[in-house]
Structure 1
Amino acid sequence: MIDSKTKLVALIGHPVEHSLSPIMQNAAFRDKNLNYVYLAFDVLPEKLKYVIDGAKALGIVGFNVTIPHKIEIIKYLDKLDKSAELIGAVNTIKVDKEAIGYNTDGIGARKALEEKIGKVENKNILIFGAGGAARAVAFELAKNNNIIIANRTLDKAKKLAEEIIEKLGKNSDEVKYVPLNTDLKDVDIVINATSVGMKKDDKPLATAEQLRGKVVMDLVYNPLETPLLKEAKKVNAIAIDGLGMLIHQGAEAFKIWTGVEPNINVMREAIMKYLNYSH
C-alpha cells in the first residue's frame, strides 16, 4: 500500500513507455515487504539538468537511467562509483545528501550470459554498438575475454576500443574495432547493445548464416524476439533475449537502493505474467 512513508524510485529516459522495470521492481519491493514504489518518467534531454536537484528536493531515493541519458547525466552527479567511472556511463543513481552514479549494466549482462552458458572467459565477443550499454558490457567482458566493437560510426568504435585498452591495460589484439557489417567468422558470442530491433521494420544486424554455431544475446527486450534473435533461431544458435540482463542489472540496482537482495525469480515471473496479459 502506498502511504505517506512510501519511498520513490524511478526510471528516467526518453522514451520510457516500453520499459518493464516498473513491473519487476514493484514486484520485488512487494515480495520483500519494502515500502517503496517505482515509476517511469519520460525526461526530454533539455530537461535532464533539473532531475537531480528535483530528486533531492522531493526526497526521491534513486533512479535507473536509460537511453539517451546514461552518459549525459554524469555531469549532474556528485560522485561516481568505480564501475561508472571506469565505464563512463551511469544506469543507476542513489540519492541521499549526495547523488552517486553506478553502473550495473555490465555485471547484469555477464550474469545473463553465464546463467545460460556457464563461465564466460577466453571468448571472442563481438558487441554491436558503442553507446552507454555497449560501453558497460564491453568493459565488464573485456576483463577476461577478447572484445570486438562493431559500430556504424567507426570513430566511436575506435574511441571505445582505445579507452578499454588504456583503462584495463589490454593490447590491440585483445580489443579491436570494426565496421557494423563485419565478418563474424572467428566470433564466439555476438551481443547487440544498440536499439536496433525495437522497431518492427528494423533489419537484423547479422544473418542466420553468420550466426551459425554462435551464442547470440540481444539487450533489446521489447520485443523479446528481436530480428537478430529470429535469425539466430533459424540456425539453432543459442539465443538469449534481453530479459536476463534487464533482471540482473535491476537486481543489482535494487541492492544499491535498499541494501536488500531481491528474489530474481519473483522479478522474472512478474514480467512474464505482464507480457502474457499485455500481448
Structure 2
Amino acid sequence: MTGPLSIRGTTALVGLLGDPVRHSLSPLMQNAALQAMGLDWAFLALPTPAPQLAVVLEALEAMQCRGLNVTIPHKQAVAALCQELSPLAKRLGAVNALVPLPGGGWHGTNTDVEGFCAPLRRQGTNWSGKQAVVLGCGGSARAVVAGLVELGFASIQLAGRRPAALEAFLQDCQSWAPQLEARPWDSSDGLAAALGQADLLVNTTPVGMASASDPAAAQACPLSEPELSCLRPETWVYDIIYTPRPTQLLQRAAARGCPGLDGLEMLVEQGAAALRLWSGRSDVPVEVMRQALIEALPSA
C-alpha cells in the first residue's frame, strides 16, 4: 500500500452485508487490494438487520454500488432477492457475492467454494478418489462439501451433533453429492473409523474460535484426544477458523505430524474471487490481501 485510502466525490462503493459485521476483516483486505489495483472504490462493512435486507439492496442498487459480499445471517435469504442466480448458488441455496446486473437488480453467486478449494489445489495433491471427514452441518459446511465434490473426493463423511439438522443437510445435498454420508457425532466408533481413513479433515464448527467476550474459547478443540489419536500423520487438517492462528485443532494435529491449513486462506481467496467478479479484472493482488490480514490477526 502506498498511503491512506483516499475518498473522493468519484469514489464508488463496494461492501459487506451482514449482522453483525463490526468484527469483519474484509474491509482491511479489500481496501488494500483496491488501492493496489488503483481502483477508485471503497469497501465498507454495512450492518444490515434482516428485516431491512430488501430495502438496503434496493438503496445500494440506486447508489450504483459496484458489488457486495454477503455474510451471516443473510446468505440464504438474499438468494430470493436476486434477479438471477449462478448454477452453484442455486444448488447450494446460498449466496455470498452479488454483482449488479446491467438491466437492474443483482446476480447472486457463491465464491466460498472457490475460496475453500484454492488452498487445497495449491498443495499439488491429486484429491480425486480421496476420503474426507467434515465436522459440522451448518451453512459453511455446504460450501465445503461442494468444494470436496468439485475436487473429486470419493467419500465425504459428515459428522454433526444435531440429528435433525444432519438429516436435513443430507436430504438437501445428496442429489449433487452422492458420495456424502451423515454420521452422528456421538457415534464415536464410526467417527473414529472415518477419522482413521481420512485423507482430509475439515472443521466447519466455531469450536476453537477466539472471542473477545470469552478468551477461553480459543483453547477449545472440536475433537477429543482419543478422536485426534485416530488421525494418520499424512492426514491434512483444514480448520476454516482463522483466529487465532493456529487454532487448537491445528496445533494438536501438527503435534501428530499432520499438515494443516486455516481459514485465512479461504477468506482471502473467496474475497479475491468476488473482487474479480466486481472489477472484471484478473490482476487481483492476492498476496496484498493476505498480508493485510496477517498483520491484523493475533497469533495463538
TM-score, normalised relative to structure 1:
0.90
**How far 1:117 moved relative to its partner?**
5.2
Which residue does the alignment assign to 1:263? Answer: 285
Q: Provide, for residues 148-199 of structure 1, a one-character-per-residue CA deviation record: whole Å limited to 9, x for no partner.
A: 222222232223233333135x2xxx21011234322222211112222224
- 1:188 counterpart = 2:199: yes
- Distance of 2:62 and 2:46 partners within structure 1: 16
Q: Residues 67-100 of structure 1: CA distance to partner in whole angstroms, max 9, x if unpaired?
A: 2221122122221111111111111111241211
13, 17, 33: which one aligns with 2:38: 33
* Partner Cα distance (1:8, 1:210) in 2: 49
Pairing 1:159-238 to 2, within 5 Å after superposition: 159-168=168-177, 170=178, 174-181=179-186, 182-183=191-192, 184-198=195-209, 199=211, 200-202=215-217, 203-207=220-224, 208-213=228-233, 214-238=235-259
Change (3 A) 1:45 1:196: farther
User: 1:87 maps to what in 2?
Assistant: 92
Cα shift at 1:215: 0.9
Query: Would you say how many aligned residue pairs link Structure 1 and Structure 2?
Result: 274
Within-5 A mapping of 1:112-127: 112-116=119-123, 118-127=125-134
Question: Which stretch shifts more, 42-51 or 70-79?
Answer: 42-51
Q: Show structure 2 runs of 5+ residues with no match.
A: 1-5
Q: Residue 132 in 1 paired to residue 139 in 2?
A: yes
Contact residue 188 and residue 215 of structure 1 kept, 8 A: yes
Q: Distance in 1 between matches of 2:64 and 2:243?
A: 31
Are 2:163 and 1:154 aligned? Answer: yes
User: In the TM superposition, what are the counterparts of 1:238-277 in structure 2 within 5 Å?
Assistant: 238-261=259-282, 262-275=284-297
Matched, 1:62 2:73: no
1:22 aligns with 2:27: yes
Amino acid at match of 1:201: A
Alpha-carbon RMSD across the aligned residues, in angstroms, is 2.1
1:114 Cα offset (Å): 2.1
Q: 1:135 to 1:267 in 2, by over 3 A?
A: same
Q: 1:3 to 1:119 in 2, by over 3 A?
A: farther
Greater shift, 125-134 or 30-39, is seen at 125-134
User: How much does 1:53 deviate?
Assistant: 1.3
2:122 is paired with a residue whose SS is: helix
Q: CA deviation at 1:14?
A: 2.4
User: Per the alignment, in what secondary structure is the counterpart of residue 142 of structure 1?
Assistant: helix
In 2, Cα distance between equivalents of 1:65 and 1:100? 12
2:117 corresponds to 1:110 = yes
How far apart, in 2, do the equivalents of 1:70 and 1:195 lie? 17
Offset from partner CA, 1:19-70 (integer Å, 9 cap, x none): 2211111111111111111111232333333221121122222111112221
Of 7, 10, 13 in structure 1, the residue corresponding to residue 18 of structure 2 is 13
What is the SS of the residue equivalent to 1:197? coil
Answer with 153-162 or 30-39: which moved more: 153-162
Q: What is the distance in 1 between the residues matched to 2:232 and 2:24?
A: 31
Aligned structure 1 segments of 4 or more residues deviating by more than 6 angstroms? none
1:48 aligns with 2:48: no
Structure 1 residue 240 displacement after superposition: 0.7
Deviation at 1:251, TM superposition (A): 1.0
User: Percent of pairs identical after alignment?
Assistant: 33
